[in-house]
A and B are shown apart, each in its own frame.
Chain A
């Protein structure tokens, strides 16, 4: 067999789509897994999320405490790292997952998906819309899932090339450094304003919650805590800045690895017509990719390292994804559905490759339903 033939075979195995009857059975198996897990939720999950909450609190207090001694470089370094870790845990394993309603069954007002706020400039309300709704419902549907390139990047041949994209390696880097801001303003649609479809007043009105939340965050990190530190104003301010930066880079890396690795597929809007449960599951799996690694990686990524499971079961506590993934993989294998996983370095290289490759012109591939 020639090598090009092997790669064709491999590729078709990767994009294999079971027929609709098979997909119905496939969906039923995943539904059953979901039910099994839901009935098993209890004490263990409650204890887990409270431990994460405690970890956020302790790392924050110790991190901020050490930063007060920031003139002493080791204290500054450890303090900044701990604060970064605290923000990562708060945003990912705690905030992201709680806001999905994963812990609503506990009925704890402090862990309610509807009201939880997190340590990031974007408001939780806005996130509930762009992420929980648009991204999770319309995962990888071109023109509907705004997470595809976030409106500034071309990551798929199915997106039309424009000369603007030549500079995309630079935009991607800036976007990564300012990721929390990018996510925060995602839904504000400045484009509509610049095109004159929205008045300045409307724009401002829509921006109000974001402005309020980001002002609160900025004052907290760059005024109050530095002021409390008195003479150590500058090291505390810098520490907070770097901690926010660490969190931005990390969340960006994890999120991009979840949907922009080499083998993920895009779908046309037409898939939504009468999409069955099984077809929906199939699209979630084909549009996501997992990271393999240690327990620490899973926790620090808010278990988005199990992006596939997260997209199948967005409302199930994320720390369950690890054990569910064993079964999901076995089910996928039985139905010949490609299950995309790999170590962080490999997956992120593929993301970088996409960023570089699609900054250059490539043949535009009109999107086809994979049926």
Chain B
């Protein structure tokens, strides 16, 4: 532990983090007692509806491994929202992180980051997570991505190509049109300078395709043609849920190893009464409850005893943090998929949930 960490621990009982942050941020906008804040220092347009933001985090950032993701929290119209984004560059010595974000139609966070975010804005970062990282020993790789799924792969490629490759690497990159492709130039240069790196782009909606650009959806013949030694490749695939699923069903049992990460959420349960599983993260237990029933009742039916008062949504006693999943407000039927406080007595489960209980 460094001297400053020791000092911090000693004075911690006297410090109200909110008060500390308030005054510290008068000095510098990313200073914080216990939160990892990062400032947007650069912004580049990367492709259609896609920008890269360069972030400079404060000293509380614990770093990331290429291929991992960060939970990014931004405030949009007064509400703090959290989404995952993957650093799209190798680890930089100066500590800056590049995120690349594609604006999703009606997407709350992506629209904000792509269109409204300004240099100087501050976002909060969580700990890096994800295990599509690079093992120590070299491998023959196949990276299969679609849309914004390119981001963690770009971080891996930038890291791998810092030295001459020892094993072949192929990237097959799906996008709608050429205008949607990110990092085209960088990828082109990379493949020019190392013959072991092969890059293929597949455009599903491009009207005037130029040489070598492919079309169509993922299919076995395409993979076999482009990567004849499929059997000895390790595969990482990344992109929207449906894409990742179809690649998985085509390739999972045909390669040396297969790992995937889906960037878009799976559909939520909507039939009331269908069972969902609720993970209570503080007590570390899981229970099965019926969806559509107020959570307080449903959890009590499982023999649990969450705190409550009025049982009608007034007193806030039953409020607890929902870390994951979708709930419905039983009073007005509004659904709520963001992490945040939920009152158990007036919200029912709509999907599997993680509650801080």
Interface residues of A (CB under 8 A from B): 35, 41-47, 53-54, 57, 99-101, 104-108, 110, 112-114, 117, 128-129, 132-134, 136-137, 314-315
Chain A to chain B: the 8 pairs with minimum beta-carbon distance, closest first: A133-B309, A46-B78, A101-B316, A133-B315, A110-B18, A137-B310, A132-B315, A42-B77
- Since A101-B319, A104-B340 are in contact, a sample of 5 more A-B pairs with Cβ atoms closer than 8 Å, ordered by chain A residue number, is A44-B78, A106-B79, A107-B338, A128-B315, A129-B309
The interface bits of chain B over 8-34 (1 if a CB of A lies within 8 angstroms of the residue's CB, else 0) are 000000001111011100000000000
Chain A residues contacting B341 (CB-CB under 8 Å) are: 101, 104, 107, 112-114
Give CA–CA (A42, B112) in the complex, Å: 15
Among B81, B321, B341, B343, residue most surrounded by chain A Cβ atoms (within 10 Å) = B341
B298-340 to A contact mask, C-beta < 8 Å, 1/0: 0000000000011011111101110000000000100000111
Q: Across the interface, do B19 and A57 meet the contact criterion of CB distance under 8 Å? A: yes
A106 CB contact (under 8 Å) in B78, B312, B314, B343: B78
Chain B residue contacts of A53, Cβ below 8 A: 18, 22
- Nearest-neighbour CB distance to chain B for A98, whole angstroms, equals 10
A45: B residues at CB distance < 8 A: 78
The residue from A41, A54, A99, A128 contacting B78, defined by CB atoms under 8 A apart = A41
Docked pose: A44 CA to B77 CA in angstroms: 8
Given contacts A35-B332, A54-B22, A137-B309, contact A128 B316 (CB under 8 A): yes
- B-chain residues with CB within 8 Å of residue A128 when the two chains form the complex: 309, 315-317
In the bound complex, how far is the Cα of B317 from the Cα of A100, in angstroms?
Answer: 9
Nearest-Cβ distance from residue A124 to partner chain B, whole angstroms: 11
B229 at the interface (CB under 8 A from A): no
Q: Say whether chain A's binding surface is mostly helix, strand, loop, or mixed.
A: helix
Judge whether A108 and B317 touch: CB under 8 Å.
no
Chain B residues within an 8 Å CB radius of A101: 316, 319, 341, 343
Q: Which residue of A lies closest to B82 (CB)?
A: A107
Measured CB to CB, the nearest residue on chain A to B13 is A216
> Across the interface, which residues of A come within 8 angstroms of B319, CB to CB?
101, 104, 113-114
Known: A101-B319, A128-B317. A136 touches B310 (CB 8 A): yes
Bound-state Cα–Cα, A114 to B315, Å: 11
CA distance A100 to B314 in the complex (A): 8
**Given B17, B77, B316, B343, which contacts A110 in the complex, CB threshold below 8 Å?**
B17
* Total inter-chain residue pairs, C-beta < 8 Å: 87
Q: Do A108 and B314 have beta carbons less than 8 Å apart? A: no
Give the contacts of B5-63 with A (CB-CB under 8 A): 16-19, 21-23
Q: Can you pick out 5 interface pairs between chain A and chain B where the beta carbons lie within 8 Å of each other?
A: A104-B319, A107-B80, A114-B320, A114-B341, A128-B317
* Known contacts A105-B79, A107-B340; A114 and B316 CB within 8 A of each other: yes
The docked-state distance in angstroms from the alpha carbon of A137 to that of B340 is 24
Distance between B39 CB and nearest chain A CB, rounded to angstroms: 19
Q: Which residues of A contact B16 (CB under 8 A)?
A: 117
B231 close to A (CB within 8 Å): no
B323 CB to closest chain A CB (Å) equals: 12
Q: Chain A nearest CB: distance from B309 CB in Å?
A: 3
Contact B340 A43 (CB under 8 A): no
Residues of A within 8 A of B77 (CB): 42-43
* A42–B309 alpha-carbon span in the complex (Å): 28
Q: Which residues of B contact A (CB under 8 A)?
A: 16-19, 21-23, 75, 77-81, 309-310, 312-317, 319-321, 332, 338-341, 343
Nearest CB on B from A356, distance (A): 33
Asked if B80 and A108 make an inter-chain contact with CB atoms under 8 angstroms apart, the answer reads yes
Question: What are the residues of chain A within 8 A of B17 when measuring CB–CB?
Answer: 110
**Minimum distance in angstroms from B314 CB to a CB of chain A:** 5
Nearest CB in chain B to that of A137: its residue: B310
Cβ-defined contact, B18 with A137, below 8 A: no
Tell me the minimal C-beta distance from B324 to chain A in angstroms.
14
On whether A42 and B78 interact (CB within 8 A), knowing A104-B319, A315-B313, the answer reads: yes
Tell me how far the C-beta of A236 lies from the nearest C-beta in chain B, rounded to whole angstroms. Answer: 18
Distance between Cα atoms of A106 and B75 in the complex (Å): 8
B229 to chain A, nearest CB (A): 49
Chain A residue, CB-CB nearest to B22:
A57
Min CB distance, A88 to chain B, in Å? 18
Give complex CA distance A156, B157 in Å.
Answer: 77
Instruction: Look across to chain B and name the residue whose beta carbon is closest to the beta carbon of A102.
Output: B316
Q: A105 CA to B340 CA in the complex, in Å?
A: 7
- CA of A108 to CA of B339 in the docked complex: distance in angstroms? 11
CA distance A227 to B77 in the complex (A): 44
The reply to whether B75 and A46 contact each other, CB–CB distance below 8 Å, is yes
Establish whether residues A57 and B23, one from each chain, have CB atoms under 8 Å apart when the complex forms: yes
B330 to chain A, nearest CB (A): 13
Who on chain B is nearest to A275 by CB?
B312
Q: Using Cβ atoms and an 8 Å threshold, which residues of chain B touch A57?
A: 19, 22-23
The answer for the CA separation of A112 and B321 in the assembled complex, in Å, is 10
Contact of A132 among B81, B309, B312 (CB under 8 A): B309
Please pick, from A41, A43, A105, A315, the residue contacting B314 in the complex, using a CB distance under 8 A. A315
Separation of A110 and B79 alpha carbons in the complex (Å): 13
Distance of A54 Cα from B341 Cα, bound (Å): 24
Q: Across the interface, which residues of A come within 8 angstroms of B320, CB to CB?
A: 114
Question: Whole-angstrom distance between the alpha carbons of A99 and B316 in the complex?
Answer: 8
Shortest beta-carbon distance from B108 to chain A in Å: 12
Q: Please determine whether B79 and A133 come into contact, CB atoms closer than 8 angstroms.
A: no
CA distance A129 to B338 in the complex (A): 27
- Separation of A81 and B12 alpha carbons in the complex (Å): 30
Nearest-Cβ distance from residue B322 to partner chain A, whole angstroms? 10
A53-B312 Cα distance, complex, nearest whole Å? 29
* Chain B residues whose C-beta falls within 8 Å of the C-beta of A47 in the assembled complex: 78
A229 CB to nearest chain B CB (Å): 18
A101 CA to B341 CA, complexed, in Å: 9
In the bound complex, what is the Cα–Cα distance between A59 and B21 (angstroms)? 17
Most central of B22, B77, B312, B316 by chain A CB within 10 Å: B316
Residue on A with the closest CB to B336?
A: A105
Closest to B342 in A: A104
Q: How far, in Å, is B335 (CB) from chain A's closest CB? A: 14
A179 vs B23: C-alpha distance when bound (angstroms): 31
